[in-house]
């Protein structure tokens, strides 16, 4: 019994330590990306994230889809979208001519600007994660992908 | 030459995929924690993070130390600290009686409340990360810890 309890305690600890490390690594990389996006492109990480999501959706996305994809609230996305529209980088439209299905999509100018930023972003990530060899990166990605469970799908 | 170039492309891809997965996993877990902290304790994740940082520093932390530890801006922390002070959960003071070294620390009430929340938080993490076995969790933690490089220490 004692060893079973000890094992449970260790298990908890391993997952909690992993979570704290995931959080710290992610925040440190995000801080780097934030600084580099500001320096190189005078833009922000949330703007980049919105443009990245729309770049994967040539037919555009509804605001609710965009929020769910980014895992942030609709309210947060609205202000970013409005500024990107006024900057001419994204445009509003309707899906399949359905006036109830309002969508946003990248403009050609937005797509061009995003391609330049995405290439820099990929180089930065490769540099920041350089100590992790590609095979290990693949293993960790597989573990974390397999772990997408019910609660993530619902999120 | 072709295979060397192909290998470089694959390497870039593996790290970029890992980064996107880290980000998505972290955001999904944070969303879960945010909802559970609100439901169970009527509190927020930034409040929990500030209290967690102070729980590890019985002698208190200066505001700058707290911001650096949390990897957020000093401005963001200030408002959270002010509300925790008015709730009686943290208190202002000075380190070693030095009036220039203003610090904040948990009050006894704050320490008690945090202990209850921390126990629930550890259970939630163990549940949310249940599909990752403890040995794998330790391996991933080790990889991500080894990878703390110069740019993270500077952050």
Asked whether the predicted pLDDT for residue A53 surpasses 60, the reply is yes
Q: In terms of CA atoms, which chain A residue is nearest residue B27? A: A71
Does the distance separating the beta carbons of A138 and B14 come in below 8 Å? Answer: yes
The domain defined by A43-115 carries CATH number 3.30.70.260: no
B150 touches chain A (CB under 8 A): no
Of A22, A135, A137, the CB nearest to B25: A22
Q: Where are the domains of chain A?
A: 1-42, 43-115
Main-chain dihedrals φ then ψ at residue B130, nearest 5 degrees? -55, -35
Spatial separation of the C-alpha atoms in residues B132 and A143, rounded to whole Å: 7
Instruction: Please write the tens of the pLDDT for every residue from A72-121.
Output: 667 778 999 999 999 999 999 998 878 888 899 999 999 999 999 999 99
Q: Each residue's pLDDT tens digit in chain B (155 positions)? A: 344 444 445 555 899 999 999 998 998 899 899 999 999 999 999 999 999 999 999 999 999 999 888 866 667 789 999 999 999 999 999 988 788 888 999 999 999 999 999 999 999 999 999 889 999 999 999 999 876 655 555 44
Strands A102-106 and A90-94: antiparallel
Residue A128 to residue B138, Cβ atoms within 8 A: no
Judge: B138–A14 Cβ closer than 8 Å, yes or no: yes
What is the residue-averaged pLDDT of chain A?
86
Inspect the interface and report whether the beta carbons of A140 and B143 lie closer than 8 Å. Answer: yes
Q: Which of B18, B45, B48, B138 to mutate against chain A (most A CBs within 10 Å)?
A: B18
**Rounded Cα–Cα distance for residues A126 and A143 (Å):** 20
Q: Which of B70, B142, B147, B148 to mutate to test the interface with A (most CBs of A within 10 A)?
A: B147
B25 CB near a chain A CB, below 8 Å? Answer: yes
Are residues B129 and A147, on separate chains, in Cβ contact within 8 Å?
yes
Any CB–CB contact under 8 A between B39 and chain A? Answer: no
Does the CB of A150 have a partner CB in chain B at under 8 Å? no
ipTM score assigned to the predicted complex: 0.81
Q: In 10 A of CB B24, how many CB atoms?
A: 19
Please indicate whether, in this complex, the C-beta atoms of B25 and A27 are within 8 angstroms of each other: no
- Specify the pLDDT at position A3: 43
Q: Which of B48, B58, B109 is nearest to B80 (CA)?
A: B48
Overall pTM surpassing 0.90 (yes/no): no
Cβ separation of A71 and B152 shorter than 8 Å?
Answer: no
Percent helix, percent strand, percent coil in chain B, to nearest 5: 75, 5, 20
Structural tokens at position B70 = 């949390």
CA A66 – CA B82 distance, rounded (Å): 34
Residues of chain B with Cβ-Cβ distance to A27 below 8 Å are: 71
Is A9 touching B (CB cutoff 8 A)? no
- A154 CB-side CA count, 13 A: 7
């Amino acid at each position: 019994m004692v060893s079973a309890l000890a094992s449970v305690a260790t298990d908890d600890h391993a997952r909690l330590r992993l979570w704290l490390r995931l959080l710290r690594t992610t925040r440190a990389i995000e801080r780097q990306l934030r600084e580099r996006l500001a320096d190189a492109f005078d833009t922000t990480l949330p703007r980049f994230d919105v443009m990245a999501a729309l770049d994967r959706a040539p037919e555009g996305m509804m605001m609710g889809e965009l929020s769910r994809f980014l895992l942030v609230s609709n309210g947060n996305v609205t202000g970013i979208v409005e500024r990107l529209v006024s900057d001419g980088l994204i445009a509003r439209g309707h899906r399949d001519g359905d006036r109830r299905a309002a969508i946003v999509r990248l403009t050609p100018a937005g797509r061009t600007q995003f391609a330049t930023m995405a290439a820099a972003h990929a180089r930065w990530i490769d540099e920041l994660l350089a100590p992790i060899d590609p095979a290990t990166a693949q293993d960790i990605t597989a573990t974390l992908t397999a772990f997408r469970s019910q609660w993530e799908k619902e999120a």
